[in-house]
Chain A
Amino acid sequence: MNQTTNVANLPPSGTTAPLQNVALCTRLLEQAMNRPGHLPGIVAFSGYSGLGKSISAAYAANKHRAHYVECKSTWTRKFLLQAILKEMGVSPANTIPEMVDQICEELVLSSRPLIVDEMDYLVDKKAVNVIMDIFEGSNAAILLIGEETLPTKLRKWERFHNRVLTWELAQPANLDDTKHLANLYCKEVTIADDLLQRIQEASRGTVRRICVNLHRVQQVALSELGQDSITKAEWGKRELYTGEAPARRA
């Protein structure tokens, strides 16, 4: 069996291009990890939902054994710190300053990076300074992930904003990404390039919608047409999922 076929993200063979965002996100984290000592080590990756930011983070986290936390809207500063410590396997101290110290120590010693997903919630909760304290105390590489408005929201926190080394935006999926996703998740049916292009356009670059559409196309090819390949002509006027509610019929 060809082992490389199941590698989602960055196949070692180099024959298939990795998903753009996976490559971007990993490069961003590595930039923070390998920066010269005098530069700040916080990097931010933001973009619309559904572009595959979290799967990009998963790859980057696995590659560098990063500590990963996903914030919730209800979280307080204390809960954030407890969540990070839990993710490190350290039993949390009682007070916020002690917990910050515990986190810093672990980050310094392990030299593993920290990834904070759904950072938007923290901005709203004003827990931004806690992240800054962690950075100041550890000088660790920290990757923040959030929605497309994250950079604007953070502008309010000028001291924090200054410490961000690079801002990167997640990109909508292009045709190569669509092909790559088809190779991964639509193995039983070969989809012609013209139909893949339609799928990419209809999905407007959202990885999640592309996957839904690939699944639909595969179903139609297998059960309605009974064949293991399909072109745009064969797909015909069938609807693709665009994420919009259907228009009113006349």
Chain B
Amino acid sequence: MHRKPIHLTHTATKVTGRDAIWLAIRELKQFTYADIVIKTSENEYTVRTYLQGLNHAEYIKVIGKDHRDDNTQGIEKPPTRRRANLYKLINDIGIDAPRVRKDGTPVTQGQAREQMWRTIKIIGEFNYTELAANASTETCLVAPHDAKSYIGNLHKAGYLHITTKAGRHTGLARYRLLPSKNTGPKPPKVQRVKNIYDPNLGKIVWQQEVTPE
């Protein structure tokens, strides 16, 4: 099954996807797989793989079988071996949903973008080589061409304005983040369909114009 483009699942007021699952886990503290599916209305496969990842990475753990209906009268209860696992949140790391793969290893994709976005907000004015240099760390190098393309996209979406135009004497173009576009911690994403989506606002901030063929 195809994953839906993120703008179809996100709204500014309602969190969805892994963020929503993580939110539900933090609210419930103890839960079964079914509890999360019911609470979030997320895709069952999404919930299952994320719970597996969180379990492997020890953010949550299985504390036994679900016996919460033991005191209810009148319904037939399944034997223990057929009951659902009961999970418990053991490592709450705050609002940011842990980024883990199914096997529990950390997801590193998107780290360069996160570092660039943070750096843009901190250093004020920059050209693309400066951004690449200042956003790099030992664990995640930012390539100059990546910085260039990200700047291009943010500029297109109206997030950056040019303070110095590129030229023979002025050198590379210099940019600055518009104060109103400091929307939050998550880097705006360039989607595969080449739209630009801001996860902090939960909306598309730039869309390719459809040209009639």
Q: A interface vs B, CB < 8 Å?
A: 3-4, 6-10, 12, 54-55, 57-59, 61-63, 67-68, 70, 86-90, 105-106, 109-112, 117, 184-185, 215, 219, 223
Contacts and interface: CB of A to CB of B under 8 A. Distances in A.
Contacts of A10: 137-138
Given A7-B141, A54-B122, A89-B96, 19 more contacts: A7-B133, A8-B130, A8-B133, A9-B133, A9-B136, A55-B134, A58-B118, A58-B135, A59-B137, A61-B118, A62-B119, A62-B135, A63-B137, A68-B122, A86-B184, A90-B95, A106-B95, A110-B95, A110-B96
B132 A6 contact: yes
22 contacts: A6-B129, A6-B136, A7-B133, A8-B136, A9-B136, A9-B137, A54-B122, A54-B123, A57-B122, A58-B122, A63-B137, A68-B122, A87-B184, A87-B185, A88-B94, A89-B95, A89-B185, A89-B186, A90-B95, A112-B94, A185-B129, A223-B168
B122 A215 contact: no
A204 B9 CA distance: 54
Contact of A6 (B123, B144, B169): B144
B89 to A, nearest CB: 11
A90 B186 CA distance: 12
Q: Binding site of A, secondary structure by majority: helix, strand, loop or mixed?
A: helix
Contacts of B185: 67, 87-89
A105 B138 CA distance: 30
A9 to B, nearest CB: 7
Interface string B180-191: 000011100000
A68 B130 contact: no
A110 B91 CA distance: 10
Contacts of B200: 89
A54 B136 CA distance: 15
Nearest to B135: A62
B38 interface: no
Interface in B130-172: 130, 132-139, 141-144, 168-169, 171
Contacts of A219: 169
A173 B183 CA distance: 34
Nearest to B169: A219
Contact of B136 (A7, A57, A67, A90): A7
Given A184-B129, A219-B169, A117 B95 contact: no
Contacts of B143: 3, 6
A189 to B, nearest CB: 12
Contact of A62 (B92, B95, B118, B130): B118
Given A7-B133, A54-B122, A12 B184 contact: no
A77 B142 CA distance: 36
B160 to A, nearest CB: 16
B135 A184 contact: no
B48 interface: no
Given A89-B185, A90-B95, A68 B121 contact: yes
Nearest to A102: B95
A247 B135 CA distance: 39
B82 to A, nearest CB: 35
A3 B133 contact: no
A98 to B, nearest CB: 16
B16 interface: no
Contacts of B193: none
